[in-house]
Amino acid sequence: MVASVLLVFMIGFGSILTVSTEAREIVFGWMRVRYQSMYEYFFEGEVENPENVVYYPKWLPEDCEFETSYDTLSGKVYIYSTPRDSLVQFTYISRSNTGKLYMDGVDAEPKEVMINGGEGTLYISHNESVTSNLVWMNKSRTVLFSISGDYDEDVLIKIAENIAEK
């Protein structure tokens, strides 16, 4: 009897995933796992048509100066310097099945935020030697974005809300 109930549940759940976009978004997308000293973000599921869009920050604080950028297998990284001898890093991962993001934020205070309709987490560091981080997804949960820098919550959110497509 238990096997029959389990089979009915699995068939019903599979049918819901086939028909409902909202249900697929709950099961598939970017996931976060906490390890002792860090978080790992990884994509669970398959993306039929991974985005090949190039993103960049169209607004940064005036004291940020572009240093370098480089492509990764799954996206791109931009690095900026500041007069405070710190760096600002913007990263995105759009080819989801090949990319992972590792982030030290376990000791930071997490805060759930929405960035342009996408879910995210802001990790505010209380340690002056560790930068704060903002990690969020686009609305379809297929692209993961990250900004780290020595700025407060308002500035990190403003940078994130001004990410544009090239």
- Judge whether residue 33 has pLDDT over 70: yes
Q: Is 130 helix (H, G, I), strand (E, B) or coil?
A: coil
Place of tokens 């935020």: 113
Could you tell me the domains of the chain? 2-165 (3.30.200.100)
Average pLDDT in the 91-116 region? Answer: 76
Q: What is the pLDDT of residues 41-54, one digit of tens each?
A: 777 766 655 567 89
Q: Which amino acid is at 15?
A: S
From the list 55, 123, 127, the residue with the least C-alpha distance to 91 is 55
Measured between alpha carbons, how far is 28 from 15 in angstroms, rounded to an integer? 15
The values of phi and psi at residue 159, to 5°, are -60, -50
**Residue 130: both structure tokens together:** 């560790």
Whole-structure pTM value: 0.73
pLDDT of residue 96: 58
Tell me if residue 25 falls in helix, strand or coil: helix
Task: Strands of the chain (E only): list them.
Answer: 29-34, 39-44, 55-57, 65-71, 75-81, 87-93, 100-103, 109-115, 118-124, 132-137, 144-149, 163-165
Copy the structure tokens of residue 155: 């500035």
Residue-level pLDDT at 106: 59
pLDDT of residue 30: 67
Average pLDDT, the chain: 78
Of 69, 67, 47, 65, which is closest to residue 56 (Cα–Cα)?
69
